[in-house]
Amino acid sequence: MRLLWRKAVNNIMLGLTAVCTLITISALFVILAYLVYNGGKSLDWNFFTKLPLSAGETGGGMANAIVGSIQIIGLAALIGLPIGFLAGVYLSEFEDKALAPLVRYTADLLNGVPSIIVGILAWTLVVVPMRHFSALAGSVALSIMLIPIVTRQTEQFLREVPMSLREGALALGANKWKMIATVVVPAGSKGVLTGMILGVARIAGETAPLLFTSLNNQFWGGLNQPTSTLTYMIWYRAISPYDDWHRQAWAAGLVLIALVLLANILARLVLARGISVPRT
Amino acid sequence: MATTATLIQPKATSKQQVGDKVAHLITLIFAATVVLVAVILVFELWWQSAATRQKLGWGFLFSSNWNPVTGEFGALPFIYGTVVTSVLALAISVPLGVGAAIFLSELAPAGISSALTFLVELLAAIPSVIYGLLAIFTLVPLMRSYGEPFLKSTLGFLPFFQGPAYGVGFLTAGLILAVMTFPFIISVSRESLLAVPREQREAALSLGATKWESTWQVVVPYAKLGIVGSIFLALARALGETMAVTMVIGNDPSIHASLFAPGYSIAAVIANEFSEATGTLYPAALVELGLVLFCLTIVMNGLARLLIIATTRKGSKRV
């Protein structure tokens, strides 16, 4: 009787863990299904080619927001990737006793800072001195988020390069920087690139740091002007009272998630096959 | 790693050493940039909130009046909303997440486990504004017509489940945050469960324990610190989450016992009001709220990292 009870508990609890898995993973499919259904209905060619119309008018697109997102994310990557990469090289190859743990600790700290607070920082650094919102401020905010991600990922992947490769290079007479540039970095390049793609994919989905840095623009923005982005437009359209704007929010959501998931799947399955990607 | 390499290196000529020193210096400058950014962040949060800290002092944290027009600023409703939604999220996501982690590490075959974990990682990659978009158009109407009336009719005697069902409010925000914190709990808990040595399981099973008894009484306690670490990590994420919460919490700066009532969170009020804040006190009050949020997340993240490091070390030592 007692054994029967224990076996029953065993089966029920193990069954429950399977149910937990089912529920959590089905969330992903529910999200994707809703987006594809609602977004697919709303997505048309105008979305990519036309400028947004005023409130209440039907039609129009988000061409400016697409270009704006590319500008802001591109510039953020240009600032953030080199800084993050070189800081990662430092942590893995040159670590000093005092500074390296401090850099590692602050990178983790920055990684955990809520994105809205990074937005405040970019606001004080760029928007306040310039006295107006700009794409540049948005890029600065996103690059601040990107730097710690790339730093820690680069460090991890370079550390995985086997010691024997480094010793081989040194034994052949290479000095340290040559060893790093010609042996260590190429050997770890796949992982480093994966980390970079995942980092950029992550900042591409950020909205909060853009709310009071790059803001929004009805027309084409520019580096020095408020600029519209896809993520801002999803938020702005979704909380509006107009049906046609809701339709556009779904379309923008579908485009955004397609790009972000594509980057993730490409990086994780194709580029990083067999490499375990550390969490950020 | 670097030190062993230097030891092995034969005595280099001075010209070679110059190259190494330059490379060292360049990477050091960029590494120092990371520290500099963090220092500037703390400094700016402190400096830009000076106006309210001087005028209102500690009272800011305990006042529940928020009326920018009359110059009243109190942080309490926002702190309350942030904490309530995050705790609610964890109350939902911890049992589900730990259950799923147990399934993925103990029951599922390795291939299926890693495939499913990959799907969980994708859940973490979905931008928060997308969660908000789905919540506003699907979860909010569902909660208004079915979820909240159901809770009211079954658990309505509790003060948490009373009042009109708006759809937007603490409960909906907590639900969407729960989904957003699944990936953190599942993947970190799974890793700490996988780090438990095989012998522990075998010993329990050979003593006649069932699979579940071995898992629940031996494996889970062994990985306890890592699991608690994953919970703190999820809590830090939930506290700082902005977009999804902003879109469904209802944006009402008041404190209600009912989870159906609309509320506000720290991140949400900064998101909604910062670009329109004028004068000196108003933006300073919002930055000070940011400072409060910053401190909360730093503490949670710090605890999470300590616990996770502690378990992975313990596991690898005994394997």
A104-147 pLDDT tens trace: 989 999 998 999 999 999 999 999 999 889 999 999 999 999 99
Cβ-contact B179, B244 below 8 angstroms: no
Interval B68-94 mean pLDDT:
93
Among the ranges given (A54-63, A172-181, A257-266, B310-319), the one the predictor scored with the smallest mean pLDDT: B310-319
Cα gap B288→B266, rounded to integer Å: 10
Tens of pLDDT, residue by residue over A216-264, are: 888 888 888 999 999 999 999 999 888 888 999 999 999 999 999 999 9
- Please state the rounded mean pLDDT for residues A33-37: 93
Chosen from B18, B34, B215 to mutate, greatest number of chain A CBs within 10 A: B34
- Residue of B260, B30, B148 lying closest to A148 (CA atoms): B30
Q: Is the pLDDT of residue B252 over 80?
A: yes
- Cβ contacts of B17 on chain A, cutoff 8 Å: 175
Q: Does A155 touch chain B (CB under 8 A)?
A: no
Query: What is the rounded CA–CA span in Å between residue B219 and residue B223?
Result: 6
SS3 A153: helix
Pair A275, A191: CB distance under 8 Å: yes
Using 50, 70 and 90 to split pLDDT, how confident is the model at A271?
confident
pLDDT at residue A98 tops 80 = yes
Residue showing tokens 């299904």:
A33
Give residue for tokens 């790693």: B1
Asked if A80 and A146 touch (Cβ cutoff 8 Å), the reply is yes
**Closest chain B residue by Cα to residue A93:** B2
Strand partners, B67: B72
pLDDT for A278: 59
CB A149 within 8 A of CB B125: no
Interface touch B34/A87, C-beta < 8 Å: yes
Query: Which of chain B's residues have a Cβ under 8 Å away from the Cβ of A90?
Result: 24, 27-28, 30-31
CA-to-CA distance for A196 and A66, rounded, in angstroms? 21
Predicted local confidence at residue A216, as pLDDT: 86
Q: How many Å from the N-terminal Cα to the C-terminal Cα in chain A? A: 49
DSSP string, A27-88: HHHHHHHHHHHHHHHH--HHHHHSPPPPTT------HHHHHHHHHHHHHHHHHHHHHHHHHH
pLDDT at A268 over 90: no
Q: Which region among A56-70, B62-76, B98-112, B305-319 has the lowest average model confidence (pLDDT)?
A: B305-319
Calculate helix-pair angle for A99-112, A135-159, nearest 10 degrees: 130
Q: What is the pLDDT of residues A155-211, one digit of tens each?
A: 999 998 999 999 999 899 888 888 999 999 999 998 899 999 999 999 999 999 999
Residue B281: pLDDT above 70? yes
Separation in Å, CA of B239 to nearest CA in chain A: 8
Angle of helix A2-42 versus helix A243-265 axis, rounded to 10: 120
Percent of chain B with pLDDT over 70: 92
Q: Is the pLDDT of residue B34 over 50?
A: yes
How far apart (Å, rounded) are the C-alpha atoms in residues B62 and B53?
A: 13
Mean confidence (pLDDT) of chain A: 90
pLDDT value, residue A279: 57
In whole numbers, what is the pLDDT of chain B averaged over residues?
A: 88
How far apart, in whole angstroms, are the C-alpha atoms of residue A167 and residue A263? 35
Where are the alpha helices (H) located in chain A, listed in sequence order? 2-42, 45-49, 63-89, 99-112, 115-122, 128-130, 135-159, 163-171, 176-179, 185-204, 230-238, 243-265
**Is the full-model pTM beyond 0.80?**
yes
Specify the pLDDT at position B317. 38
DSSP category for residue B107: I
pLDDT of residue A173: 87
Q: Is the pLDDT of residue A18 over 90?
A: yes
Query: Does residue B280 have a pLDDT over 70?
Result: yes
ipTM of this predicted structure: 0.91
**pLDDT band for position B257 (cuts 50, 70, 90):** confident
Residue B9 banded pLDDT, cuts 50, 70, 90? low
Contact residues for A4 (Cβ-Cβ < 8 A; gap 6+): none
Mean pLDDT value across residues A55-77: 89
pLDDT tier at B318 (50, 70, 90 boundaries)? very low
Q: Calculate the alpha carbon distances from B118 to A28, B110, B121 in Å.
A: 11, 12, 5
Does the pLDDT of residue A275 top 90, yes or no?
A: no
pLDDT of B2 above 90: no
Of B34 and A98, the one with more pLDDT: B34
**pLDDT number for residue B319:** 30
Q: How many CA atoms lie within 13 A of B265 on its CB side?
A: 30
Average pLDDT over residues B16-20: 80
Sorted by sequence, the CB contacts under 8 Å of residue A129 that are 6+ apart come out as: none
pLDDT of residue B149: 86
Interchain contact, A205 vs B130, CB within 8 Å? yes
Average pLDDT over residues B229-247: 92
Q: Where are the beta strands (DSSP E) in chain B?
A: none
B247 and A238: CB-CB below 8 Å? yes
Going by pLDDT thresholds of 50, 70 and 90, the confidence category of residue B16 is: low
Distances (CA, A) of B68 to B11, B52, B319: 68, 12, 59
CB contact under 8 A, B240 and A117: yes
CA angle A121, B130, B305 (to 5 degrees): 55
Dist CA B283 CA B291 (whole Å): 12
Residue A194 contacts by C-beta under 8 Å, 6 or more apart in sequence?
Answer: A153, A157, A267, A268, A271, A272, A275, A277
Kindly give the residue spans of alpha helices, DSSP state H, lying in B159-210: 170-194, 198-206
Shortest CA gap A60–chain B (Å): 20
The radius of gyration of chain B's CA atoms, rounded to the nearest angstrom, is 24
Who wins on pLDDT, A229 or A272? Answer: A229
Which residues of chain B have a CB within 8 Å of the CB of A268? Answer: 118, 121
